[in-house]
Structure 1
Amino acid sequence: MTQRSHLVRGLIAAAALFALGAGTAHADLLKDIRDAKKIRIALDTGSPPYGFVDGAMKPVGSDVETAQLLAQDLGVAIEIVQVTSPNRIPFLQTGKADIVVASLSVTPEREKVIDFSVPYAQIQSVVAGPKGVQINGFDDLKGKRVATTRGSNNDKVVTTGAKDAQVVRYDDDATLVTAAVSGQADIIATSPAIVSTVLAKAPQKDMVIKFTMSMVPLGIGMRKDEPALKAWINDWITKNLANGKLQAIYKKYHGG
Protein backbone atom coordinates (compact mmCIF):
# COMPACT_ATOMS: atom_id res chain seq x y z
CA MET A 1 0.00 0.00 0.00
CA THR A 2 1.37 3.41 -0.96
CA GLN A 3 1.95 6.28 1.40
CA ARG A 4 -0.90 8.12 -0.35
CA SER A 5 -3.28 5.20 0.32
CA HIS A 6 -2.34 5.18 4.00
CA LEU A 7 -2.99 8.92 4.18
CA VAL A 8 -6.41 8.63 2.50
CA ARG A 9 -7.46 5.76 4.78
CA GLY A 10 -6.28 7.73 7.80
CA LEU A 11 -8.31 10.77 6.75
CA ILE A 12 -11.40 8.64 6.19
CA ALA A 13 -11.03 7.03 9.62
CA ALA A 14 -10.55 10.42 11.27
CA ALA A 15 -13.62 11.79 9.49
CA ALA A 16 -15.67 8.81 10.65
CA LEU A 17 -14.58 9.30 14.25
CA PHE A 18 -15.39 13.01 14.04
CA ALA A 19 -18.82 12.29 12.59
CA LEU A 20 -19.50 9.76 15.33
CA GLY A 21 -18.50 12.27 17.99
CA ALA A 22 -20.60 14.99 16.40
CA GLY A 23 -23.58 12.66 16.24
CA THR A 24 -23.44 11.68 19.88
CA ALA A 25 -22.55 15.08 21.33
CA HIS A 26 -25.43 17.06 22.83
CA ALA A 27 -26.04 20.04 24.98
CA ASP A 28 -26.25 19.52 28.74
CA LEU A 29 -28.50 22.23 30.08
CA LEU A 30 -28.63 20.60 33.52
CA LYS A 31 -24.86 21.03 33.84
CA ASP A 32 -25.09 24.62 32.56
CA ILE A 33 -27.76 25.42 35.15
CA ARG A 34 -25.69 23.95 37.96
CA ASP A 35 -22.57 25.76 36.76
CA ALA A 36 -24.48 29.07 36.61
CA LYS A 37 -26.12 28.30 39.99
CA LYS A 38 -29.37 29.66 38.55
CA ILE A 39 -32.38 28.32 36.69
CA ARG A 40 -34.61 30.56 34.57
CA ILE A 41 -38.20 29.37 34.95
CA ALA A 42 -41.03 30.74 32.81
CA LEU A 43 -44.07 31.50 34.99
CA ASP A 44 -47.40 33.13 34.22
CA THR A 45 -48.28 35.41 37.14
CA GLY A 46 -51.49 36.47 35.42
CA SER A 47 -53.14 33.07 35.82
CA PRO A 48 -54.49 32.65 39.37
CA PRO A 49 -54.27 30.45 41.34
CA TYR A 50 -51.40 28.92 39.33
CA GLY A 51 -49.55 32.22 39.31
CA PHE A 52 -50.44 35.72 40.50
CA VAL A 53 -49.07 38.68 42.44
CA ASP A 54 -50.13 39.13 46.07
CA GLY A 55 -50.72 42.35 48.03
CA ALA A 56 -47.01 42.66 48.72
CA MET A 57 -46.32 42.43 44.96
CA LYS A 58 -44.74 38.98 45.40
CA PRO A 59 -45.32 36.21 42.83
CA VAL A 60 -47.36 33.42 44.44
CA GLY A 61 -49.49 30.48 43.32
CA SER A 62 -49.27 26.72 42.89
CA ASP A 63 -46.93 26.90 39.89
CA VAL A 64 -44.78 29.54 41.58
CA GLU A 65 -44.31 27.40 44.69
CA THR A 66 -43.69 24.32 42.55
CA ALA A 67 -40.96 26.19 40.65
CA GLN A 68 -39.43 27.51 43.87
CA LEU A 69 -39.33 24.00 45.37
CA LEU A 70 -37.71 22.64 42.21
CA ALA A 71 -34.97 25.29 42.24
CA GLN A 72 -34.39 24.73 45.97
CA ASP A 73 -34.00 20.97 45.54
CA LEU A 74 -31.70 21.50 42.56
CA GLY A 75 -29.57 23.75 44.75
CA VAL A 76 -29.73 26.83 42.53
CA ALA A 77 -31.33 30.27 42.57
CA ILE A 78 -34.53 30.87 40.64
CA GLU A 79 -34.95 33.62 38.07
CA ILE A 80 -38.61 34.12 37.19
CA VAL A 81 -39.23 34.79 33.51
CA GLN A 82 -42.69 36.33 33.13
CA VAL A 83 -44.76 34.81 30.30
CA THR A 84 -48.35 34.68 29.07
CA SER A 85 -50.18 31.74 27.50
CA PRO A 86 -49.21 32.56 23.88
CA ASN A 87 -45.47 33.04 24.52
CA ARG A 88 -44.74 30.20 26.94
CA ILE A 89 -43.36 27.88 24.25
CA PRO A 90 -41.66 30.59 22.12
CA PHE A 91 -39.76 31.83 25.20
CA LEU A 92 -38.57 28.27 25.80
CA GLN A 93 -37.60 27.65 22.18
CA THR A 94 -35.64 30.89 21.87
CA GLY A 95 -33.64 30.26 25.04
CA LYS A 96 -35.22 33.01 27.13
CA ALA A 97 -36.16 30.40 29.75
CA ASP A 98 -34.67 27.04 30.76
CA ILE A 99 -38.01 25.40 31.64
CA VAL A 100 -41.70 26.33 31.74
CA VAL A 101 -43.88 25.81 34.82
CA ALA A 102 -47.01 27.68 33.77
CA SER A 103 -50.14 25.48 33.72
CA LEU A 104 -48.83 24.00 30.46
CA SER A 105 -51.13 21.22 29.25
CA VAL A 106 -49.51 18.21 27.66
CA THR A 107 -50.87 17.92 24.10
CA PRO A 108 -49.68 15.98 21.01
CA GLU A 109 -49.17 19.25 19.10
CA ARG A 110 -46.90 20.69 21.77
CA GLU A 111 -44.99 17.42 22.13
CA LYS A 112 -43.85 17.84 18.52
CA VAL A 113 -41.87 20.97 19.38
CA ILE A 114 -40.90 20.63 23.06
CA ASP A 115 -40.41 17.90 25.65
CA PHE A 116 -42.60 17.45 28.71
CA SER A 117 -41.91 15.99 32.10
CA VAL A 118 -44.18 13.38 33.61
CA PRO A 119 -47.39 15.10 34.84
CA TYR A 120 -47.15 17.00 38.13
CA ALA A 121 -50.83 18.05 38.22
CA GLN A 122 -54.00 18.05 36.13
CA ILE A 123 -56.24 20.78 34.84
CA GLN A 124 -59.87 20.83 33.74
CA SER A 125 -61.07 22.76 30.73
CA VAL A 126 -64.62 23.96 31.36
CA VAL A 127 -67.28 26.23 29.92
CA ALA A 128 -68.95 28.57 32.41
CA GLY A 129 -71.78 31.04 32.03
CA PRO A 130 -74.77 32.68 33.71
CA LYS A 131 -76.84 30.31 35.84
CA GLY A 132 -80.00 30.96 33.87
CA VAL A 133 -78.54 30.18 30.45
CA GLN A 134 -79.03 26.61 29.22
CA ILE A 135 -75.67 25.20 28.12
CA ASN A 136 -75.08 21.45 28.33
CA GLY A 137 -72.51 20.91 25.61
CA PHE A 138 -70.77 22.31 22.56
CA ASP A 139 -73.96 22.32 20.46
CA ASP A 140 -75.53 24.82 22.86
CA LEU A 141 -72.72 27.30 22.10
CA LYS A 142 -73.85 27.71 18.49
CA GLY A 143 -74.07 31.41 17.67
CA LYS A 144 -72.96 32.40 21.15
CA ARG A 145 -69.99 34.60 22.05
CA VAL A 146 -67.45 32.56 24.02
CA ALA A 147 -64.35 34.17 25.54
CA THR A 148 -61.09 32.32 26.22
CA THR A 149 -57.36 32.87 26.64
CA ARG A 150 -55.39 32.99 23.41
CA GLY A 151 -52.99 30.09 22.86
CA SER A 152 -54.25 28.06 25.82
CA ASN A 153 -55.50 24.49 25.70
CA ASN A 154 -58.95 25.93 26.46
CA ASP A 155 -58.70 27.95 23.24
CA LYS A 156 -57.86 24.81 21.25
CA VAL A 157 -60.59 22.67 22.80
CA VAL A 158 -63.43 25.18 22.47
CA THR A 159 -62.40 26.19 18.94
CA THR A 160 -62.42 22.55 17.86
CA GLY A 161 -65.58 21.56 19.75
CA ALA A 162 -67.77 24.62 19.22
CA LYS A 163 -67.23 25.31 15.51
CA ASP A 164 -70.34 27.50 15.24
CA ALA A 165 -69.55 29.70 18.27
CA GLN A 166 -68.01 33.16 18.08
CA VAL A 167 -64.74 32.63 19.97
CA VAL A 168 -63.25 35.83 21.40
CA ARG A 169 -59.63 35.56 22.54
CA TYR A 170 -57.90 37.56 25.28
CA ASP A 171 -54.12 37.68 25.62
CA ASP A 172 -53.93 36.29 29.18
CA ASP A 173 -56.08 34.95 32.01
CA ALA A 174 -56.00 38.24 33.90
CA THR A 175 -57.54 40.06 30.92
CA LEU A 176 -60.12 37.30 30.54
CA VAL A 177 -61.10 37.69 34.20
CA THR A 178 -61.43 41.47 33.76
CA ALA A 179 -63.64 40.93 30.72
CA ALA A 180 -65.88 38.51 32.62
CA VAL A 181 -66.13 40.76 35.69
CA SER A 182 -66.93 43.85 33.61
CA GLY A 183 -69.62 42.09 31.57
CA GLN A 184 -67.70 42.01 28.28
CA ALA A 185 -67.71 38.21 28.42
CA ASP A 186 -70.68 36.26 29.82
CA ILE A 187 -69.62 32.79 28.64
CA ILE A 188 -66.00 31.69 29.11
CA ALA A 189 -63.96 28.62 28.20
CA THR A 190 -61.31 28.31 30.89
CA SER A 191 -60.30 26.43 34.06
CA PRO A 192 -62.37 26.10 37.25
CA ALA A 193 -59.79 28.26 39.04
CA ILE A 194 -60.48 31.19 36.71
CA VAL A 195 -64.24 30.78 37.23
CA SER A 196 -63.63 30.97 41.00
CA THR A 197 -61.53 34.11 40.51
CA VAL A 198 -64.34 35.77 38.55
CA LEU A 199 -66.87 34.92 41.26
CA ALA A 200 -64.57 36.19 44.02
CA LYS A 201 -64.34 39.54 42.25
CA ALA A 202 -67.98 39.70 41.13
CA PRO A 203 -70.33 37.34 43.04
CA GLN A 204 -73.30 39.04 41.40
CA LYS A 205 -72.33 37.51 38.06
CA ASP A 206 -73.85 34.21 39.27
CA MET A 207 -71.52 32.30 36.93
CA VAL A 208 -71.54 28.50 37.10
CA ILE A 209 -69.63 25.74 35.33
CA LYS A 210 -71.86 24.35 32.59
CA PHE A 211 -69.83 21.38 31.40
CA THR A 212 -66.30 19.98 31.34
CA MET A 213 -64.64 20.06 27.92
CA SER A 214 -61.61 17.97 28.83
CA MET A 215 -59.25 16.90 31.61
CA VAL A 216 -55.57 17.08 30.71
CA PRO A 217 -52.27 16.59 32.56
CA LEU A 218 -49.90 19.47 33.26
CA GLY A 219 -46.22 19.00 32.58
CA ILE A 220 -43.01 20.98 32.96
CA GLY A 221 -41.89 22.07 29.51
CA MET A 222 -38.29 21.95 28.32
CA ARG A 223 -36.40 22.06 25.05
CA LYS A 224 -35.89 18.81 23.20
CA ASP A 225 -32.71 16.74 23.43
CA GLU A 226 -31.92 17.49 27.07
CA PRO A 227 -31.96 13.95 28.49
CA ALA A 228 -30.11 14.73 31.73
CA LEU A 229 -32.44 17.62 32.62
CA LYS A 230 -35.54 15.64 31.69
CA ALA A 231 -34.43 12.64 33.77
CA TRP A 232 -33.69 14.84 36.81
CA ILE A 233 -37.05 16.64 36.59
CA ASN A 234 -39.00 13.39 36.12
CA ASP A 235 -37.27 11.88 39.14
CA TRP A 236 -37.94 15.04 41.16
CA ILE A 237 -41.66 15.02 40.30
CA THR A 238 -41.99 11.31 41.10
CA LYS A 239 -40.35 11.78 44.53
CA ASN A 240 -42.40 14.87 45.39
CA LEU A 241 -45.66 13.23 44.41
CA ALA A 242 -44.73 10.25 46.57
CA ASN A 243 -43.89 12.41 49.60
CA GLY A 244 -47.00 14.57 49.14
CA LYS A 245 -45.26 17.93 48.69
CA LEU A 246 -46.73 18.64 45.25
CA GLN A 247 -50.22 17.66 46.39
CA ALA A 248 -49.90 19.97 49.41
CA ILE A 249 -48.96 22.90 47.17
CA TYR A 250 -51.89 22.21 44.84
CA LYS A 251 -54.36 21.86 47.70
CA LYS A 252 -53.15 25.11 49.25
CA TYR A 253 -54.18 27.13 46.22
CA HIS A 254 -56.91 25.01 44.59
CA GLY A 255 -58.65 23.67 47.67
CA GLY A 256 -58.38 20.01 46.74
Structure 2
Amino acid sequence: MKFTRRLFLGLAALLLGVGATMAHAANALDTIKQRKKILVAVDIGGPPYGMIDEQARQVGSDVEAARLLAQDLGVTLQIVPVSGPNRVPFLLSRKADVVMASFSITEDRKKVIDFSEPYGVVPVVIGGPASAKVASFADLSGKTIAVTRGTTSDQELTRGSKGIPSVSIVRYEDDATTNTAVATGQQDYIAAPPSTILAVKKASPSRDIASKFAMKAYPYGIGVRKNEPELKAWLDGWVKTNLKNGKLDEIYKRYFGMSLPPEVLQ
Protein backbone atom coordinates (compact mmCIF):
# COMPACT_ATOMS: atom_id res chain seq x y z
CA MET A 1 0.00 0.00 0.00
CA LYS A 2 2.86 2.39 0.90
CA PHE A 3 4.55 1.64 -2.41
CA THR A 4 1.31 2.24 -4.30
CA ARG A 5 0.74 5.51 -2.43
CA ARG A 6 4.31 6.68 -3.14
CA LEU A 7 3.90 5.76 -6.79
CA PHE A 8 0.62 7.67 -6.98
CA LEU A 9 2.14 10.74 -5.33
CA GLY A 10 5.14 10.55 -7.63
CA LEU A 11 2.97 10.36 -10.73
CA ALA A 12 0.83 13.23 -9.46
CA ALA A 13 3.89 15.39 -8.91
CA LEU A 14 5.18 14.51 -12.36
CA LEU A 15 1.87 15.40 -13.96
CA LEU A 16 1.75 18.68 -12.06
CA GLY A 17 5.25 19.47 -13.26
CA VAL A 18 4.36 18.66 -16.87
CA GLY A 19 1.21 20.75 -16.54
CA ALA A 20 3.18 23.70 -15.23
CA THR A 21 5.71 23.35 -18.04
CA MET A 22 2.93 23.21 -20.63
CA ALA A 23 1.20 26.24 -19.09
CA HIS A 24 4.48 28.14 -19.18
CA ALA A 25 5.11 27.06 -22.78
CA ALA A 26 1.61 28.24 -23.70
CA ASN A 27 2.38 31.75 -22.41
CA ALA A 28 2.54 33.61 -25.72
CA LEU A 29 4.01 36.75 -24.15
CA ASP A 30 6.99 34.82 -22.74
CA THR A 31 7.44 33.03 -26.06
CA ILE A 32 7.66 36.35 -27.91
CA LYS A 33 10.14 37.78 -25.41
CA GLN A 34 12.32 34.66 -25.50
CA ARG A 35 12.27 34.68 -29.30
CA LYS A 36 13.07 38.41 -29.22
CA LYS A 37 10.75 38.90 -32.17
CA ILE A 38 7.03 39.48 -32.61
CA LEU A 39 5.18 38.33 -35.72
CA VAL A 40 2.52 40.91 -36.53
CA ALA A 41 0.01 40.26 -39.32
CA VAL A 42 -0.63 43.44 -41.35
CA ASP A 43 -2.67 43.93 -44.52
CA ILE A 44 -0.05 45.57 -46.75
CA GLY A 45 -2.64 45.91 -49.54
CA GLY A 46 -5.06 48.00 -47.48
CA PRO A 47 -4.00 51.67 -47.55
CA PRO A 48 -3.61 53.74 -45.47
CA TYR A 49 -3.38 50.97 -42.85
CA GLY A 50 -0.71 49.09 -44.78
CA MET A 51 0.92 49.75 -48.16
CA ILE A 52 4.19 49.86 -50.10
CA ASP A 53 5.63 53.31 -50.81
CA GLU A 54 7.70 54.52 -53.78
CA GLN A 55 10.88 53.18 -52.16
CA ALA A 56 9.30 49.72 -51.75
CA ARG A 57 9.06 50.21 -47.97
CA GLN A 58 6.19 48.92 -45.86
CA VAL A 59 4.32 51.93 -44.48
CA GLY A 60 0.87 52.79 -43.13
CA SER A 61 -0.88 53.43 -39.84
CA ASP A 62 -0.91 49.78 -38.77
CA VAL A 63 2.72 49.34 -39.84
CA GLU A 64 3.75 52.29 -37.67
CA ALA A 65 1.63 51.09 -34.75
CA ALA A 66 3.22 47.63 -35.05
CA ARG A 67 6.70 49.18 -34.97
CA LEU A 68 5.77 51.14 -31.85
CA LEU A 69 4.41 47.97 -30.23
CA ALA A 70 7.59 45.99 -30.96
CA GLN A 71 9.74 48.86 -29.69
CA ASP A 72 7.81 49.09 -26.42
CA LEU A 73 7.96 45.32 -25.99
CA GLY A 74 11.72 45.38 -26.56
CA VAL A 75 11.72 42.95 -29.48
CA THR A 76 12.25 43.15 -33.23
CA LEU A 77 9.28 43.30 -35.59
CA GLN A 78 8.49 40.85 -38.37
CA ILE A 79 5.51 41.86 -40.46
CA VAL A 80 3.46 38.97 -41.83
CA PRO A 81 1.48 40.16 -44.88
CA VAL A 82 -2.18 39.12 -44.83
CA SER A 83 -5.42 39.99 -46.60
CA GLY A 84 -8.88 40.55 -45.11
CA PRO A 85 -10.09 36.95 -45.47
CA ASN A 86 -6.98 35.24 -44.04
CA ARG A 87 -6.34 37.38 -40.95
CA VAL A 88 -8.06 34.94 -38.58
CA PRO A 89 -6.63 31.75 -40.19
CA PHE A 90 -3.08 33.16 -39.98
CA LEU A 91 -3.58 33.96 -36.30
CA LEU A 92 -5.13 30.60 -35.40
CA SER A 93 -2.47 28.66 -37.30
CA ARG A 94 0.25 30.59 -35.40
CA LYS A 95 1.72 32.13 -38.52
CA ALA A 96 1.35 35.39 -36.58
CA ASP A 97 1.44 36.24 -32.88
CA VAL A 98 -1.07 39.09 -33.24
CA VAL A 99 -3.01 40.85 -35.98
CA MET A 100 -2.89 44.61 -36.60
CA ALA A 101 -4.73 44.95 -39.89
CA SER A 102 -7.63 47.41 -39.49
CA PHE A 103 -9.14 44.48 -37.58
CA SER A 104 -12.67 45.56 -36.66
CA ILE A 105 -14.02 44.20 -33.38
CA THR A 106 -17.22 42.28 -34.11
CA GLU A 107 -19.31 39.86 -32.06
CA ASP A 108 -18.81 37.09 -34.63
CA ARG A 109 -15.02 37.43 -34.51
CA LYS A 110 -15.03 37.56 -30.72
CA LYS A 111 -16.47 34.04 -30.73
CA VAL A 112 -13.24 32.81 -32.34
CA ILE A 113 -10.49 35.18 -31.15
CA ASP A 114 -9.89 37.91 -28.58
CA PHE A 115 -9.17 41.60 -29.16
CA SER A 116 -7.22 44.25 -27.31
CA GLU A 117 -8.80 47.52 -26.30
CA PRO A 118 -9.64 49.57 -29.47
CA TYR A 119 -6.84 51.73 -30.86
CA GLY A 120 -8.72 53.11 -33.89
CA VAL A 121 -11.97 53.10 -35.85
CA VAL A 122 -12.91 51.83 -39.30
CA PRO A 123 -15.99 53.37 -40.87
CA VAL A 124 -17.34 51.35 -43.78
CA VAL A 125 -19.15 53.15 -46.59
CA ILE A 126 -20.63 52.73 -50.03
CA GLY A 127 -18.62 54.46 -52.73
CA GLY A 128 -19.83 55.24 -56.22
CA PRO A 129 -19.91 57.87 -58.97
CA ALA A 130 -19.91 61.35 -57.45
CA SER A 131 -22.92 62.34 -59.56
CA ALA A 132 -25.04 59.32 -58.54
CA LYS A 133 -27.92 59.90 -56.12
CA VAL A 134 -27.25 57.10 -53.69
CA ALA A 135 -27.94 57.89 -50.04
CA SER A 136 -29.19 54.61 -48.57
CA PHE A 137 -29.29 50.85 -49.14
CA ALA A 138 -32.61 51.23 -50.95
CA ASP A 139 -30.83 53.27 -53.63
CA LEU A 140 -28.61 50.27 -54.44
CA SER A 141 -31.49 48.48 -56.16
CA GLY A 142 -30.39 47.41 -59.64
CA LYS A 143 -26.72 48.11 -58.93
CA THR A 144 -23.59 45.92 -58.69
CA ILE A 145 -21.25 46.48 -55.76
CA ALA A 146 -17.68 45.23 -55.38
CA VAL A 147 -16.43 44.19 -51.94
CA THR A 148 -13.61 42.18 -50.38
CA ARG A 149 -14.85 38.83 -49.12
CA GLY A 150 -15.11 38.33 -45.35
CA THR A 151 -14.51 41.95 -44.37
CA THR A 152 -16.83 44.08 -42.24
CA SER A 153 -17.72 45.89 -45.46
CA ASP A 154 -18.95 42.57 -46.84
CA GLN A 155 -20.91 41.84 -43.66
CA GLU A 156 -22.60 45.24 -43.57
CA LEU A 157 -23.34 45.26 -47.29
CA THR A 158 -24.88 41.79 -47.06
CA ARG A 159 -26.96 42.78 -44.03
CA GLY A 160 -28.06 46.17 -45.33
CA SER A 161 -28.95 45.05 -48.85
CA LYS A 162 -31.06 42.09 -47.70
CA GLY A 163 -34.53 42.46 -49.15
CA ILE A 164 -33.46 45.19 -51.60
CA PRO A 165 -34.40 43.94 -55.10
CA SER A 166 -31.81 43.38 -57.82
CA VAL A 167 -28.69 44.10 -55.76
CA SER A 168 -25.67 42.20 -57.10
CA ILE A 169 -22.64 41.73 -54.83
CA VAL A 170 -19.33 40.76 -56.43
CA ARG A 171 -16.86 39.47 -53.83
CA TYR A 172 -13.11 39.55 -54.42
CA GLU A 173 -10.44 37.77 -52.41
CA ASP A 174 -8.32 40.80 -51.48
CA ASP A 175 -8.55 44.59 -51.33
CA ALA A 176 -6.16 45.15 -54.23
CA THR A 177 -8.36 43.15 -56.62
CA THR A 178 -11.51 44.84 -55.33
CA ASN A 179 -10.01 48.29 -55.82
CA THR A 180 -8.76 47.44 -59.30
CA ALA A 181 -12.20 46.21 -60.34
CA VAL A 182 -13.70 49.61 -59.50
CA ALA A 183 -10.76 51.67 -60.77
CA THR A 184 -10.94 49.94 -64.17
CA GLY A 185 -14.73 50.23 -64.45
CA GLN A 186 -15.67 46.57 -63.96
CA GLN A 187 -17.98 47.82 -61.19
CA ASP A 188 -19.18 51.34 -60.43
CA TYR A 189 -19.85 50.82 -56.73
CA ILE A 190 -17.72 49.57 -53.85
CA ALA A 191 -18.27 48.78 -50.17
CA ALA A 192 -15.12 49.71 -48.24
CA PRO A 193 -13.56 52.11 -45.71
CA PRO A 194 -13.38 55.79 -46.81
CA SER A 195 -9.60 55.53 -47.16
CA THR A 196 -10.10 52.89 -49.84
CA ILE A 197 -12.46 55.16 -51.75
CA LEU A 198 -9.79 57.87 -51.74
CA ALA A 199 -7.16 55.37 -52.92
CA VAL A 200 -9.38 54.24 -55.83
CA LYS A 201 -10.03 57.85 -56.82
CA LYS A 202 -6.31 58.62 -56.70
CA ALA A 203 -5.51 55.58 -58.85
CA SER A 204 -8.17 56.50 -61.41
CA PRO A 205 -9.23 60.19 -61.16
CA SER A 206 -11.45 59.93 -64.22
CA ARG A 207 -13.71 57.48 -62.38
CA ASP A 208 -14.61 60.26 -59.87
CA ILE A 209 -15.55 57.81 -57.10
CA ALA A 210 -16.87 59.38 -53.88
CA SER A 211 -18.27 58.15 -50.56
CA LYS A 212 -22.06 58.00 -50.83
CA PHE A 213 -23.25 56.93 -47.37
CA ALA A 214 -21.88 55.26 -44.24
CA MET A 215 -23.02 51.74 -43.46
CA LYS A 216 -21.43 51.53 -39.99
CA ALA A 217 -18.31 52.49 -38.00
CA TYR A 218 -16.33 49.78 -36.20
CA PRO A 219 -13.65 50.17 -33.55
CA TYR A 220 -10.61 48.07 -34.35
CA GLY A 221 -8.17 46.34 -32.03
CA ILE A 222 -5.23 43.97 -31.98
CA GLY A 223 -6.33 40.41 -32.69
CA VAL A 224 -4.97 37.77 -30.33
CA ARG A 225 -5.72 34.09 -29.86
CA LYS A 226 -8.04 33.08 -27.05
CA ASN A 227 -6.57 31.74 -23.79
CA GLU A 228 -3.52 34.01 -23.94
CA PRO A 229 -4.34 36.22 -20.92
CA GLU A 230 -0.79 37.48 -20.32
CA LEU A 231 -0.39 38.73 -23.89
CA LYS A 232 -3.88 40.24 -23.99
CA ALA A 233 -3.30 42.06 -20.69
CA TRP A 234 -0.01 43.47 -21.98
CA LEU A 235 -1.66 44.60 -25.23
CA ASP A 236 -4.53 46.26 -23.35
CA GLY A 237 -2.04 48.14 -21.19
CA TRP A 238 0.02 49.13 -24.23
CA VAL A 239 -3.04 50.53 -26.03
CA LYS A 240 -4.16 52.54 -22.99
CA THR A 241 -0.66 53.94 -22.42
CA ASN A 242 -0.17 55.00 -26.03
CA LEU A 243 -3.63 56.52 -26.31
CA LYS A 244 -2.97 58.51 -23.16
CA ASN A 245 0.46 59.75 -24.30
CA GLY A 246 -0.92 60.64 -27.75
CA LYS A 247 1.35 58.40 -29.84
CA LEU A 248 -1.44 56.33 -31.39
CA ASP A 249 -3.51 59.44 -32.06
CA GLU A 250 -0.49 61.03 -33.75
CA ILE A 251 -0.16 58.03 -36.06
CA TYR A 252 -3.89 58.08 -36.85
CA LYS A 253 -3.86 61.81 -37.65
CA ARG A 254 -0.86 61.40 -39.93
CA TYR A 255 -2.70 58.92 -42.15
CA PHE A 256 -6.34 59.97 -41.81
CA GLY A 257 -6.08 63.73 -41.40
CA MET A 258 -8.21 63.67 -38.24
CA SER A 259 -7.94 62.77 -34.59
CA LEU A 260 -9.33 59.59 -33.10
CA PRO A 261 -12.90 59.95 -31.81
CA PRO A 262 -13.35 60.83 -28.12
CA GLU A 263 -14.84 57.43 -27.29
CA VAL A 264 -11.55 55.77 -28.31
CA LEU A 265 -9.28 58.32 -26.61
CA GLN A 266 -11.12 58.10 -23.27
Output the TM-score relative to the length of structure 1. Answer: 0.92
- 1:187 equivalent in alignment to 2:189: yes
What is the CA RMSD across the aligned residues, in angstroms?
2.1
Structure 1 unaligned runs (5+)? none
Q: Deviations over 1:76-118 (max 9, x none)?
A: 0111111111101100000100000001100011111111000
Higher alpha-carbon deviation: 18-27 or 81-90: 18-27
Shift of 1:19: 7.0
Q: Which residue of 1 aligns with 2:106?
A: 107
Higher alpha-carbon deviation: 8-17 or 52-61: 8-17
State how far apart, in whole Å, the 2-side matches of 1:210 and 1:98 are. 37
Give secondary structure in 2 for the equivalent of 1:177.
Answer: helix
Shift of 1:60: 0.2
Higher alpha-carbon deviation: 240-249 or 174-183: 174-183
Counterpart residue type for residue 221 of structure 2: G
C-alpha distance 16-35 of structure 1, shift in aligned 2 (>3 A): closer
Q: Which residue of 2 aligns with 1:171?
A: 173
Give secondary structure in 1 for the equivalent of 2:86.
Answer: helix
Q: Map 1:108-127 to 2 at 5 A.
A: 108-127=107-126
- 1:46 equivalent in alignment to 2:45: yes
Counterpart residue type for residue 109 of structure 2: R
Output the TM-score relative to the length of structure 2. Answer: 0.89
Higher alpha-carbon deviation: 169-178 or 151-160: 169-178
Counterpart residue type for residue 56 of structure 1: Q
Give secondary structure in 2 for the equivalent of 1:33.
Answer: helix
Higher alpha-carbon deviation: 143-152 or 236-245: 143-152
Shift of 1:208: 1.8
Q: Which residue of 2 aligns with 1:161?
A: 160
Shift of 1:213: 0.4
State how far apart, in whole Å, the 2-side matches of 1:92 and 1:117 are. 14
Q: Which residue of 2 aligns with 1:253?
A: 255
The percent of aligned pairs where both chains have the same amino acid is 48
Shift of 1:136: 1.6
Higher alpha-carbon deviation: 133-142 or 47-56: 133-142
Q: Deviations over 1:115-138 (max 9, x none)?
A: 100000001010011122221211
Counterpart residue type for residue 67 of structure 1: A
Shift of 1:187: 0.6
Q: Which residue of 2 aligns with 1:200?
A: 202
Give secondary structure in 2 for the equivalent of 1:123.
Answer: strand
Give secondary structure in 2 for the equivalent of 1:85.
Answer: coil
Q: Which residue of 2 aligns with 1:226?
A: 228
Q: Deviations over 1:144-191 (max 9, x none)?
A: 101111111101110111124211111221222211111112111000
Counterpart residue type for residue 73 of structure 1: D
Q: Which residue of 2 aligns with 1:217?
A: 219
Q: Which residue of 1 aligns with 2:4?
A: 7
Give secondary structure in 2 for the equivalent of 1:91.
Answer: helix
State how far apart, in whole Å, the 2-side matches of 1:92 and 1:130 are. 37
State how far apart, in whole Å, the 1-side matches of 2:97 and 2:215 are. 31
- 1:25 equivalent in alignment to 2:27: no
State how far apart, in whole Å, the 2-side matches of 1:69 and 1:236 are. 10
The answer (yes or no) to whether the contact 2:39–2:98 under 8 Å persists in 1 is yes
Give secondary structure in 1 for the equivalent of 2:88.
Answer: helix
Structure 2 unaligned runs (5+)? 259-266
Q: Which residue of 2 aligns with 1:58?
A: 57
Shift of 1:229: 0.7
The answer (yes or no) to whether the contact 2:198–2:210 under 8 Å persists in 1 is no
State how far apart, in whole Å, the 1-side matches of 2:214 and 2:9 are. 61
C-alpha distance 13-162 of structure 1, shift in aligned 2 (>3 A): farther
Give secondary structure in 2 for the equivalent of 1:135.
Answer: coil
